[in-house]
Amino acid sequence: MALVTGASRGIGAATARQLAAQGFDLLLLARSEAELAELATELRASGRRVETQVLDLAEPSGIATGLADLLGRGLDPGVVVNNAGAAYTGPLAAMPLEQWQWLLQLNLTSVFQVCQAVLPALRRQGGGHIINVSSHAARHAFPDWGAYCASKAALASFSRCLAEEERRHGIRVSTLTLGAVNTPLWDSATVHSSFDRRAMLSTERAAEALVSLALQPASQIVEDLTLMPAGGAF
């Protein structure tokens, strides 16, 4: 059983499809009800059990309740993929506080909240695997991407700390560090760029990397896997 956040489109939807092809039943979480329902119908037709929860991870007050509902349906995930996230472009000096808080909530705090919600189940079953999707922006400074860089750097540090704390419970934590991926993120109102998206990684390649991590045996851990476009950083 695998839980995937941000599952209705992009990397999340591609990952859900590939996990289903590998025999995983799924707990899918996203804010788009229509897209989530369409994906669930598709995956159920392949014989997989799929439970969904419509939840906006930008709203911290609803996360615990929404996850309690999803996790209360009798299916405990062994793999948790924290994929949901967002980006914002603009100079730090002019960034509104509410935009900073929104981005940190989605890219960092919501991951913390999801992990807190799933840890009791993972501990009960003697272990599991949490995979957090990060970015090469965690390691490099890019003008007008400062808030995004900071959020992903914090996520990488959070992942390492969580791994150390939960190792004794048999819980492994990995980070997938991605270069630019051609996802709907580039179409969002908070991102302004002119990159050639044809040179980016595809969502399917990113999903393959996530599934490869998910299929690692419990006796080993890939702590961080970095996947970049052949052309390097944009």
CATH number at residue 130: 3.40.50.720
Angle of helix 97-104 relative to helix 146-166, nearest 10 degrees, comes to: 30
Flag whether 158 is in a domain.
yes
d(CA 8, CA 100): 24
pLDDT at 186 exceeding the cut of 70? no
> pLDDT class for 31, splitting at 50, 70, 90?
very high
- Cβ contact 22:1 at 8 Å: no
SS3 content of the chain, % helix, strand, coil (to 5): 50, 15, 35
Residues 10-35: what's their mean pLDDT? 97
Q: Which of 207, 209, 200 has the alpha carbon at shortest distance from 182?
A: 200
Q: Give residue for tokens 């003697």.
A: 126
pLDDT of residue 102: 97
Residues 153-167: what's their mean pLDDT? 98
pLDDT of residue 159: 98
Flag whether 232 is in a domain.
no
Flag whether 20 is in a domain.
yes
pLDDT at 196 exceeding the cut of 80? no
> pLDDT class for 234, splitting at 50, 70, 90?
low
Q: 119-150 pLDDT, tens per residue?
A: 999 999 999 999 999 999 999 999 999 999 99
pLDDT at 195 exceeding the cut of 80? no
Is 45 strand, coil or helix?
coil
Instruction: Give the C-alpha distances (Å, rounded to integers) separating 86 from 57, 83, 110, 223.
Output: 11, 10, 12, 23
Q: Give residue for tokens 């939807």.
A: 13
- Cβ contact 171:122 at 8 Å: yes
> pLDDT class for 49, splitting at 50, 70, 90?
very high
Give burial (CB, 10 Å; 0-12/13-18/19+) of 93.
exposed
The runs of H, that is alpha helices, within 132-177 are: 146-166
Q: 65-86 pLDDT, tens per residue?
A: 999 999 999 889 999 999 999 9
Flag whether 234 is in a domain.
no
pLDDT-wise least confident of 36-50, 63-77, 195-209: 195-209
> pLDDT class for 3, splitting at 50, 70, 90?
very high
Its domain, for residue 67, covers 2-227
Flag whether 186 is in a domain.
yes
pLDDT of residue 231: 72
pLDDT at 155 exceeding the cut of 90? yes
Q: What is the CA radius of gyration of the chain?
A: 17
pLDDT at 180 exceeding the cut of 70? yes
Total domains in the fold of the chain? 1
Q: Which of 100, 183, 177, 193 has the alpha carbon at shortest distance from 140?
A: 177
Known catalytic residues are 148
Flag whether 217 is in a domain.
yes
d(CA 45, CA 22): 15
Flag whether 233 is in a domain.
no
Flag whether 39 is in a domain.
yes
